[in-house]
Structure 1
Amino acid sequence: MVAPDRQPTLADVARWAGVSVATASRVLNRSAPVNEDTAARVERAVADLGYVRQRSPHLARGHSGAVSVVVFDDMLRYQRDSFYSRLLVGAERAALRAGRELVVSTALRNAPRDTLLRYLCGGHVDGVVMVGMPSDGAPAQVVREAGVPVMCVGRPAVAGLSYVDANNTGGARQAVSYLISSGRQAIATIAGPSNMIVADDRLAGYRSALAEGGLAPDGIVCRGDFTVDSGEHAMLRLLDRYPALDAVFAASDLMAFGALRGLRRLGVRVPDQVAVVGFDDGTLARHTMPRLTTVRQPVEEMGARAVAELLVADESCRATVLKTSLVLRESA
């Protein structure tokens, strides 16, 4: 392996030592126990590369005038999902109030990000809001190591990172409790991907409501990926396996829309035969047939709070969880 011909970063140290960025960060910060052999490899990499921990240049010369939002998703989904546009509306308003411009980037979750990280750590922005961050937390670790503040939208999988989120567990619990109180007994869920914290939190709320309502707590689960097509495919699979279903809680409005489309294809009446509830309350929810009962999360406020909290001169770890509410319409 060849040493970089520039100032080495934490990512370079991790690569040289053959460990994750999060592990390298834990060794250097002594924030969690790491076995001796791994720690020695990281320390040897630091010496070999001449790595020096330093604060971002912008901290020494005042603010740069910009805040970055990085969305870890592919460009097509970024353009199609109104969640992102609504989030950015709130973020931009907060940035303008603080006298900053908003710089928006997208990045695939599993793709190399060295160029993006060098930009974020190079003094070009006063802080970074990360949306849908990969579960290893590596991008946030690298940026924070450079002295640039980081705020996550959505509860991160790794500890020690500040975040703003909606009450995903509580919102899902309220939705499913409503279905139970309406007399529904065979309630399935179309959950999100198993590698996303938001999907796990909403699944936990679904199961909590089932247990509180005296139903089998494991429930009936089929997973999608927060897209319309995945919701439709999941709905068709569920009805094939469980024809007696009388309700479905979908972990996003897009998947709920897909579920409605699948039910329509099969001639199943909503809500007479199967009730459908989503999660988000974007514009789509008011234009489905029938109109979608869903959990409203304050997406614009999440974006605004993320930027506002990011620019607070405080390095403590902060968690802001915003309330959700159930919006009743004709689908349930």
Structure 2
Amino acid sequence: MLRPTLADVARAAGVSTATASRVLNGFPRVSPQRRKQVESAMLALGYARQRAARATTSRQTGSIALVVCEEVPRLFTDPYFPRIAAGVGRELTAVGLQLVLLTVPATDDYQEPVLRYLDGGHVDGALVVGMHGRRPLDVGWLGIPVVFGGRPVQAGRSDRLSYVDADNQGGARLATQRLLDGGRQTVATIAGPQDMTAGVDRLLGYRQAVARAGRYDDGLVVFGDFGQASGDYATSRLLSRRPDVDGIFAASDMMAVGALRALRRAGRKVPEDVAVVGFDDLPISSWTDPPLTTVRQPVEEMGARMTGELLALIDGSPARRCTVLDTQLVPRKSA
């Protein structure tokens, strides 16, 4: 007989899996009525966590899940995710393990089937990338090891979760300093989503650099979603309200590509009128006109390191494992 999962408990209690997880983990923000419903369902089903038994048993299924928390179209249009998957796949192939790809749009309805699958004994561990804070994937209760790509966004719980990240703050400071050192007087940023730690950290790095130079101006901050269209739109808005802008740090290469398009449409030459620096060092950054100065984050290495950390956890390492990889400026002709 299959043991009941937390998803079964949630279904019996008439609540979401996330709510059942919060009850199980002792989180305070659950109403007494729902807490009672969950506890009653756990008792009726005979639910037991069994975290230790599964976590200490090495490689039962021979499969690892890569969980991508993004809409499916974004998975195939944003080069970040294939590069992460390439690093993951390389490491798994070397040890003879299979990769299972799971996609999770940022809604509760779509999270529950994935969480049920992860808790169902199908995989030995999970790698999670693309985390948003609006509806974070609640994996803390699962009986398998989990490693995040990027510092996780769960408030108050990132000190208990394993992750591999890039130095987003430091890279953003390098990018902004490049513009300042080039003599740019009015340096703006197209910041990334503020419900993702990469977006938050890159904005913070920009703010640190311009504040140190005595040039901080909140009116020079616009926001995008890391995608090309948002970079185009944000740059057009920026130019309409601040035509004196002569430097732009875009928090992703795809937003920088959109910025170049908007600047060209507005008759601004790059870098003569406006210098542009991106972040990621995607292949497209070498093909833009002019080639894009950017910050390289080692995406494939992040995927490989995430996999190595996860395998160590699966094989019995008891410690939380956190790694931050260096970033570096790649100078080209846009700044």
Q: CA deviation at 1:226?
A: 1.3
Confirm or deny: 8 A CA contact 2:7 2:116 kept in the other structure.
no
Match for residue 246 of structure 2? 246
Rounded Cα–Cα distance in structure 1 between residues aligned with 2:153 and 2:182: 35
Deviations 1:51-73 (A, max 9, x none): 22224769658532121111111
Match of 1:107 among 87, 104, 108: 104
Confirm or deny: 8 A CA contact 2:239 2:245 kept in the other structure.
yes
- Tell me the amino acid that sits aligned with residue 140 of structure 1: V
Match of 1:154 among 150, 157, 165: 150
Match for residue 292 of structure 1? 292
Rounded Cα–Cα distance in structure 2 between residues aligned with 1:183 and 1:316: 47
2:207 partner SS: helix
Rounded Cα–Cα distance in structure 2 between residues aligned with 1:193 and 1:267: 28
Q: CA deviation at 1:9?
A: 3.0
Rounded Cα–Cα distance in structure 1 between residues aligned with 2:89 and 2:272: 42
Q: CA deviation at 1:48?
A: 4.5
Percent identity for Structure 1 against Structure 2: 50
Match for residue 308 of structure 1? 308
Q: CA deviation at 1:305?
A: 0.3
Match for residue 122 of structure 1? 120
Match of 1:71 among 63, 68, 71: 68
Rounded Cα–Cα distance in structure 2 between residues aligned with 1:267 and 1:205: 29
Confirm or deny: 8 A CA contact 2:173 2:206 kept in the other structure.
yes
Deviations 1:178-223 (A, max 9, x none): 2112111211111112222211111111111111111126351111
Rounded Cα–Cα distance in structure 1 between residues aligned with 2:247 and 2:287: 20
Rounded Cα–Cα distance in structure 2 between residues aligned with 1:122 and 1:236: 48
Rounded Cα–Cα distance in structure 1 between residues aligned with 2:116 and 2:11: 15
Rounded Cα–Cα distance in structure 2 between residues aligned with 1:323 and 1:62: 31
- Tell me the amino acid that sits aligned with residue 75 of structure 1: V
Match for residue 43 of structure 1? 39
1:325 and 2:294 aligned: no
Q: CA deviation at 1:47?
A: 2.7
Q: CA deviation at 1:102?
A: 1.7
Match for residue 216 of structure 1? 216
Q: CA deviation at 1:148?
A: 1.0
Alpha-carbon spacing, 1:122–1:95, altered in 2? closer, same or farther (3 Å) = same
Rounded Cα–Cα distance in structure 2 between residues aligned with 1:14 and 1:317: 28
Confirm or deny: 8 A CA contact 2:6 2:21 kept in the other structure.
yes
Superposition pairs for residues 1-332 of structure 1, below 5 Å?
8-13=4-9, 21=17, 24-30=20-26, 37=32, 40=36, 42-55=38-51, 62-110=59-107, 111-135=109-133, 136-141=135-140, 145-158=141-154, 159=157, 160-216=160-216, 218=218, 220-312=220-312, 313-332=316-335
- Tell me the amino acid that sits aligned with residue 51 of structure 1: Y
Rounded Cα–Cα distance in structure 1 between residues aligned with 2:97 and 2:259: 41
Rounded Cα–Cα distance in structure 1 between residues aligned with 2:67 and 2:31: 35
Confirm or deny: 8 A CA contact 2:115 2:139 kept in the other structure.
no
Confirm or deny: 8 A CA contact 1:207 1:219 kept in the other structure.
no
Q: What is the TM-score of this pair, normalised by structure 2?
A: 0.88
Deviates more, 1:72-81 or 1:298-307: 72-81
Confirm or deny: 8 A CA contact 1:276 1:331 kept in the other structure.
yes
Rounded Cα–Cα distance in structure 1 between residues aligned with 2:151 and 2:208: 19
Structure 2: runs of 5+ lacking an equivalent: none
Rounded Cα–Cα distance in structure 2 between residues aligned with 1:107 and 1:18: 22
1:211 partner SS: helix
Q: CA deviation at 1:105?
A: 2.3
Alpha-carbon spacing, 1:304–1:50, altered in 2? closer, same or farther (3 Å) = same
Deviates more, 1:36-45 or 1:216-225: 36-45
Rounded Cα–Cα distance in structure 2 between residues aligned with 1:326 and 1:61: 40
Alpha-carbon RMSD:
2.5
Rounded Cα–Cα distance in structure 2 between residues aligned with 1:76 and 1:59: 37
Q: CA deviation at 1:322?
A: 0.4
Rounded Cα–Cα distance in structure 2 between residues aligned with 1:62 and 1:196: 31
Confirm or deny: 8 A CA contact 2:21 2:138 kept in the other structure.
no
Confirm or deny: 8 A CA contact 2:279 2:296 kept in the other structure.
yes
Rounded Cα–Cα distance in structure 1 between residues aligned with 2:14 and 2:28: 17
Residues paired across the two proteins, number? 323
